[in-house]
Structure 1
C-alpha cells in the first residue's frame, strides 16, 4: 500500500500488486472511512473503478480495507471478472474486532460467491495497534487459514482451481484469543513499538504498590525485557508500608532496576508555602501535591537515562477527578489509559495466570491513590462496578443520562459521573497517548470541546 498520485495531483490511498518483478496492477481505494479514528476524506480522493489483474492464470480482484465493509466495491470486482479477492488492511485493534472483521468478510464472500485473502498489518502506531490476524476464507464463509494475532510472519495460502472455481487450501487456523489475552497482547505490542520505533533505550515508570502500576510494570517488562525498565517508588507521608513492600516485591519478581526516591522533603515545602490558600493544607492543593510532585523527580531520571516515561493512569482517572496534571498524568506513554478499572483487574489475573508477578494483596486491597491518610478511591467515585458500565455507556455508546439511568443506575450518580467526564476534558487534552483497546477511546475518536458558553447540568 502507498499514497498514489492521480494525474491531477490529488492523492489516493492505493495498493500495488507486484508480479514477475513489475507492477501488474494498482488499485485506488473506493470507500474512504471518515469515522472513529479515520480521517481519510481529508487526505485522499476515492477511486472509481475495480481493479482485476491476472496472476498465474487467476483473475485477482484487489481491494483495500474499507472497500469490503460495503457491498458495492466487491460486487464491482466480481462483475469485472474477479475469481479471487485479495484485501490489504491497516485495520486497528479493538476488543472483539476480529469477530467483526470475519463477519463482514463472510457477508461479502457469500454475496458474490468468491474466496478472499484478508491481509492485515502488525504494528503499533501512537494509540493504534494493528493486530494482524490475517485469514483466508472460502466462498461459503468458512475460515480456511488464520494467522496468529500480534505476530509478524509470512503465512502461505495456496489457491487452486477445482471444478471451475477458485478455492483456498486449508491451513493452520490460529485459535481466537480471550478478551483478556487479546487486550494484553495489544498493550504489549503498543508499548514495544512506541518505545522501539522512537529509539528509546528503555522506560522509567513510577511504581506505587497499587494495581495500575503493577500491571503497567508487567506490560513494560513483557514488551521490552527487564533490562530496559527502571521502576521508581516515590513515597510521601501517606504511602503505606504495604505499598512500599509490594512495589519492591513486584520489581524483584520481574527483575527490573528499582529505586526509591522519597518526595517527603519536596512535599513539605509546597504545603508550607500554600498554607492558608483555600483554607487549609488538607484542602484541594494539599491533596494534589503528593501526585504532582513526582513529575519533576521522575523527569530528572528520564533525562539522565534518555528513556521514555510510562504513565500508569487508566480510564476512570482520565474520565473523572482522580487524575492530576503534571502528576500521575505525566509521562510519555500511558499503556492502560483505555482500560477500565474492572478490566485492569481482569488483566492482572490473566497475567498472573502466565506466572505470578502481581502480589495477590495488591489485587485484593481497596484501591487508593494515597493522597491523604486513609484515602480510598471510593471517597470520590462510585464503586467501579457502577462506574465502569456508566462510562462505557456514555463514551462508547453515546447514551444520554436518561438512557443510562434506564439500565438501572441511579440518575443522580449518572449525572455526576457524566459531569466529571465533561469537566475534565482539559486534562485529557494534555495527557500522553496510550493504546486504544475499546470501541471508542479518549483520543483520536473522542472530540469533545473543552469550552462551552452553555453547559447543561447532567444531574
Structure 2
C-alpha cells in the first residue's frame, strides 16, 4: 500500500430525474480525476437521481433506472480510479439511500444510510429503510468510512467506523442551505473528528431543487479539527485532495481555502441560484414581472437580472389611477438601471369595464376591499396573458411578511411560477436592496452599482390600491410585525413569548390570527427560495382548516 492517496472531490449540480445527465456529469468528473492521477473520485449523496427526489424515488421504474445507470457507470469507469456515487438501492423489497463504490468494472461495495432525517424538508423515513451501521470499505488499501449525510450528525456511526478500522471519513451529503448552516455543519464535523481522531471529508451537493438550495461549501478537516480544504459556496467545483500516511495516521495536505461570505451575500446568492436553476431545470429562458415602483418587485427584478441576465427579464408597469408619479418614475428608472425591457400597460380602462360589468350585482353595496382586489387581479390576468403569449415565466414578488399574514391577493399579485423572496421578511428586503446596491460579484449577471433607486428603498411601502394608502394602515409597522413573526413562525413560539419580548398582546394575537387564516393562500402560492428553517412549505406544514388559537 502506498503512503499517499489522491481523492478527487466533485462538488457538482445534479438535476432531479435527469439520470443520464447526472451520470454523464459523474463520468466527466471521473475522467478529470483519472487525468489528475486520482485513486478515488467521489460525488455527493443521491447524485445519480438528483436530490431531494421526494416520492419520485419510490416509483419502481425510476429507482430501477437509477440503479441500472450506476451499474453502467461501473462498466464505463472500469479502467482507472474508483468512483463513489450516491443513489438508491433495493435490499430485498426495501429501498435504501446508498453510496455505491465502483471499482474494476463493478459495484464493489454499497454503504446504506442508517439515520434517516424526518424533519424540516426531509421525509426519509417515508422513503427509505434504515440499514444497520456498516463498516469501512477499502480503495487501494485505504480503509474509508462513509456515513451518509445525517449519519455524520450522530456520533454512533462515525465511532463504529473508527472502531472497525476506518482510516478516513468520506461523507457524501445532500445538505440544503439555511442561514448560518455552514457554521452548524463545521462545528458538528469538528466534533466527529475529535471523537474519532480521523481526517474527515465533507462533500456536499450544489445547486437548487424547487425551494431547496444545496450550497456546496465542501471541506476537509484534519485530526484535531484543522481546516485543510474549503471549497466555494454555491458553485460547482472539482478539487484534488492529497492524503499522506504519517505513520501515526492519515492527514490531508493543505489545499485552497475559499472565502465564506457573510449571511447577506449567502442569502442573495441562494436566491439567485435558486431562480437560475429553477428556470434552467424546467426549461424556461425568460421571465416577466409586474414592476410596481415598490421595493419587493425591485429586488425580484434585480435578482432575476443577476440570475439570467437583464436581456431575459421583462418588467411591466400596470398603473391605475392610484399609482403615484413617484412609482412610475422609480419603476422606469430601475428597469433602465438594470437594462431590462420595460412595458407600460395601464389598467384603468380594464378596471372601469369590470366595475361596470359588476355594477348590477354590487348595487346597494358600498365599495370596499373587493374593488381594490379587482386591480390586483386584473394585473395578474394581464401578466399571465403575457406569460402565455411570450413563453416567459411570471415571477411573483411577495415577501415573507406578506405571505405570512396574507397581505396579498390570491389570483392577483400572488400569480406566478416562482418567488425568490418568499422566505425574506420585509425588513430584510430593505437591507438586501442596500447590500446589492453596494456589492457586485462575478456570479451576478446584472450590472454593478446602485441599480435600485434610493427612493424605492426610503419611501413608505404601499400597495397603491386606494388614495394615500400605506401598508401600515393594515399591518403593524414592519419591524414590529417581522419580530412577532420570527417568534410565532420561525421559533414556533407562543403569544406569551411575544409579550415577554415586549410586544402588545392584542397585536400579537391579531398577527397570529392573520397567520392562521392565510393558510389557504400559502397552500396555493408559488414555490420560492428556502432561506431559513421556518420557510413556508415543507418546513412548516399546517392545516388549512384550523379553529385553534393560542389562549395566551
TM-score, structure 2 as length reference: 0.81
DSSP-derived class of the 1:98 partner: helix
Provide the C-alpha distance between the structure 1 equivalents of 2:90 and 2:296, rounded to a whole number of angstroms: 49
Query: How far apart are 1:158 and its partner, in Å?
Result: 1.3
Q: Of 467, 470, 492, which aligns to 1:373?
A: 467
Residues 16 and 424 from structure 1, CA distance in 2 versus in 1: closer, same or farther, beyond 3 angstroms? same
Contact persistence 1:419–1:457 (CA under 8 A): no
Q: Of 203, 214, 218, which aligns to 1:134?
A: 218
Residues 151-195 of structure 1 show CA distances to partners (whole Å, capped at 9, x for unaligned) of 001022211111321111111112221111000000000000001
Contact persistence 2:533–2:539 (CA under 8 A): no
| Range 267-276 or range 41-50, more displaced | 267-276
Query: How far apart are 1:321 and its partner, in Å?
Result: 3.5
Provide the C-alpha distance between the structure 2 equivalents of 1:7 and 1:231, rounded to a whole number of angstroms: 52
Provide the C-alpha distance between the structure 1 equivalents of 2:537 and 2:362, rounded to a whole number of angstroms: 34
Aligned residues: 458
Provide the C-alpha distance between the structure 2 equivalents of 1:429 and 1:216, rounded to a whole number of angstroms: 21
Structure 1 equivalent of residue 397 of structure 2 = 312
Structure 1 equivalent of residue 426 of structure 2 = 341
Q: After the TM superposition, which segments of 4 or more aligned residues of structure 1 sit over 6 Å from their partners? A: none
Query: How far apart are 1:26 and its partner, in Å?
Result: 1.2
Structure 1 equivalent of residue 58 of structure 2 = none
| Range 144-153 or range 169-178, more displaced | 169-178
Structure 1 equivalent of residue 277 of structure 2 = 193
Contact persistence 2:118–2:124 (CA under 8 A): yes
Structure 2: state its 5+ residue gaps: 1-45, 47-85, 440-448
Structure 2 equivalent of residue 152 of structure 1 = 236
Query: How far apart are 1:455 and its partner, in Å?
Result: 2.8
Q: Of 88, 98, 123, which aligns to 2:172?
A: 88
| Range 440-449 or range 273-282, more displaced | 273-282
Provide the C-alpha distance between the structure 2 equivalents of 1:101 and 1:233, rounded to a whole number of angstroms: 44
Residues 56 and 278 from structure 1, CA distance in 2 versus in 1: closer, same or farther, beyond 3 angstroms? farther
* 1:441 pairs with 2:526: no
Provide the C-alpha distance between the structure 2 equivalents of 1:278 and 1:97, rounded to a whole number of angstroms: 56
Structure 2 equivalent of residue 235 of structure 1 = 319
Query: How far apart are 1:273 and its partner, in Å?
Result: 3.8
DSSP-derived class of the 2:515 partner: helix
Structure 1 equivalent of residue 450 of structure 2 = 356
Residues 58-114 of structure 1 show CA distances to partners (whole Å, capped at 9, x for unaligned) of 211012110011111111111111010000111010010010011111111111111
CA root-mean-square deviation? 1.5
Query: How far apart are 1:282 and its partner, in Å?
Result: 3.5
Structure 2 equivalent of residue 164 of structure 1 = 248
User: What are the residue-to-residue correspondences of 1:24-43 with 2, within 5 Å?
Assistant: 24-43=108-127
Residues 268-287 of structure 1 show CA distances to partners (whole Å, capped at 9, x for unaligned) of 22233444749655412012
* 1:425 pairs with 2:510: no
Query: How far apart are 1:458 and its partner, in Å?
Result: 5.6
